[in-house]
Amino acid sequence: MAIPQQSNAVFYHPLDDASEALQGSSWDSSAAFAGGKVANAAYATAGGGLTIGPAQEVTAAGGAESYAALDSEKFAVGYNNCMVRIGAVGEDMSITWGTERNLAGLSVPAKVAKLSSTTFVALWEWSADVHAIACGLSGMDVTLLGGSATTVASSLQSALGLSATTFMIVYGDLRARSASVLAGSITWYSEYEFDGVAELLL
């Protein structure tokens, strides 16, 4: 663990001194501190404990539409130009990007929903249909496993992965539909219409 810097320290106790040095005191030049002999030090980070890494450009073409964390390091991003891409967060908080994958050659938003740590489903709406395709990972690149479309009454609102083999979509005027994914093949189930906003929120 790195020695805390004076600008971030709240207080510290040197091992050879019972006194407390508060933030703003000139204690980082002391022999005890310079030698790493510091105990019971506390120091603040941005956001009350949140360490923020360097800013990264999400994409050069089309803004991000949705995100889905796949595991503790990797996540999937869906873009407004119907593309998806994988990002990975390193130990130094930097982000490494895989290659963008075009889903349909359309300028429509793509949503993503996690299935497992190595699979997710990407969805987009076109001509009153919601299209879904199961996606896998090959290193940092996206592989397309297979897809299917279902007709919906109106606009796609959100998508949610339920398990490694199922997901659901919410669309239109409080309607939902679930689907299963098996070996890349997607099967849609019957539409469900919610009885009011309260039920949807539950």
Residues counted in the chain: 202
The model's pLDDT over 22-54, given as tens digits with 9 standing for 90+, comes to 444 444 455 544 444 444 444 444 555 555 666
pLDDT of 46-85, one tens digit each? 555 555 666 556 554 567 889 999 999 999 999 988 999 9
pLDDT band per the 50, 70, 90 thresholds, residue 105:
confident
- Tell me the CATH number for domain 64-201: 2.130.10.10
Using alpha carbons only, give the angle 112, 117, 123 rounded to the nearest 5 degrees. 15
Longest CA–CA separation in the chain, Å: 74
Rounded CA separation 155/198 (Å):
20
Mean pLDDT of 2-22: 47
pTM: 0.68
Q: 142: closest CA among 125, 119, 173, 161?
A: 119
- Strand runs (DSSP E) across 30-174, as ranges? 38-43, 64-69, 74-79, 83-89, 95-97, 101-102, 111-114, 119-126, 129-138, 141-151, 156-161, 166-171
**Any idea which of 22-36, 119-133, 164-178, 183-197 has the lowest mean pLDDT?**
22-36
Residue range(s) of every CATH 2.130.10.10 domain in the chain? 64-201
